[in-house]
């Protein structure tokens, strides 16, 4: 992300601002997440961050949520509603 990378302190400031805005909410793990994660673990490698990417994709699919990311690798995941941002 080049010059847009934040320090840990600045990242936490942005995180607190985002959480406080009311535009973001935390979700509990949906039923069926384990099965979808196992499917990904056995059948494909999504991108460099294998386990975390698999978890995020499985979570979004099972919960019926859109995954918003800069990672173009998510664009090839079948069944995933993703919005790939340009950075």
> Mind listing the pLDDT tens digit for each residue in 5-38?
999 999 999 999 999 999 888 899 999 999 999 8
Band of residue 67 on the pLDDT scale cut at 50, 70, 90? very high
How far apart are the C-alpha atoms of 62 and 76, rounded to whole Å?
17
How far apart are the C-alpha atoms of 43 and 31, rounded to whole Å?
20
Q: Work out how many domains the chain is built from and give that number.
A: 1
CB-neighbour burial class of residue 70 (10 A; exposed 0-12, middle 13-18, buried 19+): exposed
For residue 59, give its domain range. Answer: 29-87
Residue of 65, 40, 64, 70 whose CA lies nearest to 52: 40
**Total-model pTM:** 0.74
Instruction: Please indicate, yes or no, if residue 16 is contained in any of the structural domains.
Output: no
Instruction: Please indicate, yes or no, if residue 23 is contained in any of the structural domains.
Output: no
Instruction: Please indicate, yes or no, if residue 20 is contained in any of the structural domains.
Output: no
Contact partners, residue 72, CB within 8 Å, separation at least 6: 84
Mean pLDDT of the chain: 89
């Amino acid at each position: 992300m080049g010059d847009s990378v934040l320090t840990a302190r600045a990242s936490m400031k942005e995180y607190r601002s985002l959480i406080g805005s009311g535009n973001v909410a935390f979700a509990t793990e949906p039923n069926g997440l384990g099965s979808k994660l196992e499917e990904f673990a056995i059948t494909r490698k999504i991108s460099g961050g294998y386990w975390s990417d698999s978890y995020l994709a499985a979570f979004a699919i099972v919960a019926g949520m859109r995954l918003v990311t800069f990672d173009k690798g998510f664009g090839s995941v079948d069944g995933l509603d993703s919005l790939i941002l340009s950075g």
